[in-house]
Amino acid sequence: MKKISFQDYLPFIFLTALAVIGIFFPTVPTFSDASKYNAADVAWILVATTLVFLMTPGLSFFYGGMVNRKNVISTMMQSFIATGLISIIWVVVGFSLAFGESQGGLIGSPSTYFFFNNVGSGQPWGTIPLLLFALFQLKFAVITPALVVGAVAERIRFTSYVLFMVLFSLLVYAPIAHWTWHADGILFKLGVLDFAGGTVVHISAGCAALAGALVLKRRKDHIQKKELQPANIPFVLIGTGLLWFGWFGFNAGSSLAANSLAVSAFAATNTATAAAGLSWIFFDVIRGRKPSVLGFCIGAVVGMVAITPAAGYVGVPQSLFIGFVAAIVSNLVVHFKNKSSIDDTLDVFPCHGVGGMTGMLLTGVFASTAINPAAADGWAYGNFSLFYKQVLGLLLVVAYSFTVSWLIFKVINFIHPLRVTEEEEELGLDVTQHNEIYHPNMMSVNGHGKIAEEEVGVQHH
């Protein structure tokens, strides 16, 4: 058993304090006036919220299958822990910062919905309860820091990444969500269109991923240019399927109603995803590579990312073009990144960051009031000003997310080392961070399991 330090007590002490404070907020949801809500809308957003939740375990499988075998469990855990961590942060103050009373269009007041106070009051958000809207938005807040894991996998301490998730959620995600989706947010008032999270989720996570990769520097295997095979490609396929399934809730649910806009967003999401998966592997073929399962899966995810900001503003034919183009752009960026010294382990910046940027720009080209009367026509329909606004919004989010995330990683590294030791990196994070082992013939065992060391090829400590 390891020696327990005061730092080890801090997370438990902090959670204990929040739990005790919570008993002084006896808010009970009241939904007695059913006339405020539309039953079909409530039912659909409940389903959509569940679908978006499914994306985070899907992401865990997607990332876990691509890393080295000795880091499968740690990578999956670093993503999946967000479901617990951000759920608490969101209830305490995250939702207030994102959707509370606006402070100059920059951030919400922490007191508006502190500990979900007033969220369960029964007041509506459109045609659904505010509490349901808050839960739907929670799932977006959960998956965003989980995306960053892929860039720093195989070398970051679990405790350091937990702290990063907390600070990123409060200092990066919440402000950008407020700018983009709050009626008084600076990007919303500018007229920037982001239907389901191109800036809020993907560009913010992609730029944070790049910052993390630069701060943590390169893995030893990356410096030695070792080609490590993915641990489990079927995991990647399962993860892609779960993401694709959940993404319908992500995009179609962002209509916040069971209406024709939700159906249009659903169709656009599926079409862009399919086009991007095919575009990626067909582009690989003309560059002399074989079509691979991994390539189709990565391409499909890029398509999901790129259509996210546009899903409620473009038609199905345009979504096909968006998916097709985004996969080629991200494929090329991955190629150029691989020639550089940047060690973004699972290409989070090229796929999520650049994919999100491509989607934001093409939203400015193809957005149409025929699809969504609340939007504006894009450049393709004679309105260049929308494209200009999309560029401004994109640049602001890129600069803010990268800079603040870089500072967060630096500050954490000053307080507590970000990277594991060279010995721990060599042994793998599954054992050194979690005392668990992944083995192809069995999912995992903990450090007390009785698996022969020669069978798994790992020395317990």
Question: 3-class DSSP state for residue 124?
Answer: strand
pLDDT at residue 453, rounded to an integer: 39
Residues 6+ apart with CB under 8 A from 35: none
pLDDT at residue 327, rounded to an integer: 98
Residues 6+ apart with CB under 8 A from 394: 199, 203, 357, 360, 361
pLDDT at residue 162, rounded to an integer: 96
Give the mean pLDDT per block of 10 residues along the chain (461 residues).
76 91 77 79 98 97 95 96 97 97 97 91 88 97 97 95 97 98 97 97 98 95 86 96 98 97 98 98 95 96 98 98 98 95 95 98 97 95 97 98 98 94 93 86 47 39 36
Q: What span, in angstroms and rounded, lies between the C-alpha atoms of 229 and 320?
A: 32
Q: What span, in angstroms and rounded, lies between the C-alpha atoms of 5 and 2?
A: 9
**Closest listed residue to residue 379, CA positions, set 397, 361, 395:** 361
pLDDT at residue 393, rounded to an integer: 97
pTM: 0.92
Which region, left, alpha or beta, applies to residue 197 given φ > 0 means left and ψ of -120 to 50 means alpha? left
pLDDT at residue 228, rounded to an integer: 79
pLDDT at residue 25, rounded to an integer: 82
Contact 115, 18 (CB under 8 A): no
Q: What span, in angstroms and rounded, lies between the C-alpha atoms of 136 and 123?
A: 16
Identity of residue 353: G
Contact 160, 418 (CB under 8 A): yes
Q: What span, in angstroms and rounded, lies between the C-alpha atoms of 252 and 256?
A: 8
Quick one: which H or E segment has residue 438? strand 436-439
pLDDT at residue 121, rounded to an integer: 77
Q: What span, in angstroms and rounded, lies between the C-alpha atoms of 460 and 368?
A: 59
